[in-house]
Chain A
Amino acid sequence: MSRGVSGRLPVIITIVLAIMLTVVPLPEWAEPFRPNWVALTLIYWAMMMPRTWSVGTAWIVGIIVDVAQGTILGQHALALCFIVFFTVRFHLLMRVFPMQQLTATVFALIALYQFILFWVNGVAGIDVPLSSYWGPVITSTLFWPVMMAFLSGIRMRVQHGR
């Protein structure tokens, strides 16, 4: 348990940072291309430590994102649950994927995420053209290798420290 506390704090910090990045103001032209930092972070930790960071975490983080963005309560929670569920389900497979294949998987996961947002918005009557959902999918995929390197660095440090 003691290792749990010391190991969890850095992960929580990365998640909090990701939430902050989702509310940092961007210039108007960059707004539709904001990478989905929260989803990337959660995918990484769910893949590497699926026992600790699973659908429960994803749901709580999703609710926080919903409140921070003023979206329908449960929208991001639902979307994050979905992608983290698939990540945890296939984490052993994803860990041995070569980088290109893993990046392609992340692309699919983020596309699923955006589709769920689109779908919930559609049901709720918030009418936004489908094309505006593609920006985050593309930038998130492009940022995945960087994000993975960064989070791996943190994970190595945590595991050495313990």
Chain B
Amino acid sequence: MTSVDTVSRVPALGVRFAALLIVSIVLMVLDHRQNHLQAVRQAVGAAVYPLQVIVDSPFRLWEWIREGTTERNQLQLEVSRLQAERLLTNARLQRMTALEAENARLRDLLEARDQVRDEVRVAEIMAVDANPYRHNIVIDIGELEGAYDGQAIVDAAGVIGQVIETGLANSQAMLISDPSHSLPVEVNRNGLRTIANGTGEIDRLDLPFVTNNADIRPGDLLVTSGLGGAFPAGYPVAIVETVTRVPQEPFADVTARPAASLDQVREVMLIWSAEDQPADNQPAEETPDE
């Protein structure tokens, strides 16, 4: 019985195995080289989504219970704290509107293009783990709500990362600390442009291309320069921590700490960059002309 079984099965098994091997390798090449498989990913992702929701739900429930059972005086404390914070922000905002108007006037004088405000939307990080060899997160906004590949993600303190794969109802995003992530930044103090690379450590970025004589020092704020195209300009990224100048080397050794606490946030903001929007709208504007 068993000998018949093995004789009749093994060739078929080997053939199936070989076929699946080839299919896997073709898939990997297609996925890695050309990114052609977005549709496949989205279809399978739709099947995975319920599982992710189930895994995420106990954490959400816990959060909800904790919020529901917070004590009254604690709530009052928080309300007064938030009120104070709002007052401060409002005061700053008033100055901001004045500055914005002034900026627009100056830009008018210089005949520069008007800077348009970016649109933002709050997304929540789902409590599901992604690829363990990468710094990835899963957020609960997908293509249905307008997320797109390369979209910038920030929190209240600074840049978090960018969307790398959109599903229908959720997306994968790469944090700026991922070793394969690079971000064009500039020093806020003097506009010195450089690149910030992820290191794989959640609280450290690397600035490999700062020349030895460049004017950069610990405590400098790095903001997005907007040069890469993916990120709108002017969002805080990191604060320079150490600057080590090695006389023999062409570049100084500079590290920075991300402004946003990458591993603690739960709510993030997706940015619909104002600079991206004209490109999206163009086809729609062109058709009436014809």
Contacts and interface: CB of A to CB of B under 8 A. Distances in A.
Our verdict on whether A and B bind, yes or no, reads: yes
Interface of A: 16, 19-20, 22-26, 28, 31-32, 34, 50-51, 54-56, 59, 62-64, 67-75, 77-78, 81, 85, 88-89, 92, 117, 120-121, 124-128, 132
Q: Helix, strand, loop or mixed for chain A's interface?
A: helix
- Most chain A C-beta atoms within 10 Å of own C-beta, residue among B13, B59, B202: B13
Interface stretch (B49-57, B62-70, B91-99, B114-122): B49-57
Given A74-B24, A74-B31, A121-B133, A92 B2 contact: yes
B284 to A, nearest CB: 32
Interface in B49-87: 51-52, 54-55, 59
Interface stretch (B124-132, B226-234, B239-247, B248-256): B124-132
Given A56-B16, A85-B17, A73 B180 contact: no
A117 B134 CA distance: 13
B128 A24 contact: yes
A162 B167 CA distance: 40
A150 B129 CA distance: 25
A70 B165 contact: yes
Contacts of A81: 17, 20-21, 24
A72 B32 contact: yes
A104 to B, nearest CB: 23
Contacts, number: 118
Interface of B: 2, 6, 9-10, 13, 16-17, 20-21, 23-28, 30-32, 37, 40-41, 44-45, 47-48, 51-52, 54-55, 59, 127-134, 136, 164-165, 172, 179-180, 202, 263
A64 B47 contact: yes
B25 A74 contact: yes
A59 B44 contact: no
A64 B48 contact: yes
Contacts of A56: 16, 20
Contacts of B45: 67
